[in-house]
A and B are shown apart, each in its own frame.
Chain A
Amino acid sequence: EVQLVESGGGLVQPGGSLRLSCAASGFTFSSYEMHWVRQAPGKGLEWVSYIDSSGNTIYYADSVRGRFTISRDNAKNSLYLQMNSLRAEDTAVYYCAREGGNGYNFDYWGQGTLVTVSS
């Protein structure tokens, strides 16, 4: 069974940093592209970042480029999101999601971890 479990969320002050983790199991993690997607309270989904299976190709949403860094450790079956210079508008539930084998979709999602940026 495919499982994605996020951790690392919490309350952080504006300008602060946080590192999210996503532990993957039930599939060959090193063969799949991965994403981070977020959802602000009461709002729609927003794509955040993508990393290919080897970690060599990375993309970011304009809203986080230069502040967030996606990475992965295939030996540990883990995906990460380093978030710096956090703003109030970064407050959201952050989901890690696997890219489907057919590409260009998100076929499995974690349960999400809440990040709250507030003083």
Chain B
Amino acid sequence: QSALTQPASVSGSPGQSITISCTGTSSDVGGYNHVSWYQQHPGKAPKLMIYGVSNRPSGVPDRFSGSKSGNSASLTISGLQAEDEADYSCSSYTSSRSPYVFGTGTKVTVL
């Protein structure tokens, strides 16, 4: 099972919006509405930001939103803030014998 493809880095200025893509196949992202997104600050554990493509857990700001089209999912951060600078990874359920796969990860920089 290959990792889902994400851009290595995305940057934006405070207040701007950025979008991180997560590209898979019809066996994972495209086949199920089971895409989730994780934020990870350096040296810290990942934190769930989006589940089920577009659902936010309690406590996650509504600046974070998720969507999916075909074999690609996206995480959008609106009104970018300094504390949003972190690594972001997507994950999807898959039809393979190893049923979960993560993305390659994206470093978000706030300029």
Contacts and interface: CB of A to CB of B under 8 A. Distances in A.
Given A104-B51, A104-B52, A44 B105 contact: yes
16 contacts: A37-B102, A44-B3, A45-B89, A47-B98, A59-B97, A59-B98, A61-B1, A95-B46, A102-B51, A102-B55, A104-B93, A105-B36, A107-B48, A107-B51, A108-B48, A109-B46
B97 A62 contact: yes
B102 A45 contact: yes
Contacts of B34: 103-105
Contacts of B32: 104
A89 to B, nearest CB: 15
Contact of B36 (A44, A59, A62, A104): A104
B39 to A, nearest CB: 11
A104 B101 CA distance: 11
Interface in B79-111: 89, 91, 93, 97-105
B52 A106 contact: no
B58 to A, nearest CB: 10
Interface residues of A, number: 27
Nearest to A110: B45
B47 interface: yes
Given A47-B98, A47-B102, A97-B46, 19 more contacts: A35-B100, A37-B46, A43-B105, A44-B3, A44-B89, A44-B103, A44-B104, A45-B46, A45-B91, A47-B100, A47-B101, A50-B100, A59-B98, A61-B1, A104-B32, A104-B100, A105-B36, A106-B38, A109-B47
Contacts of B101: 47
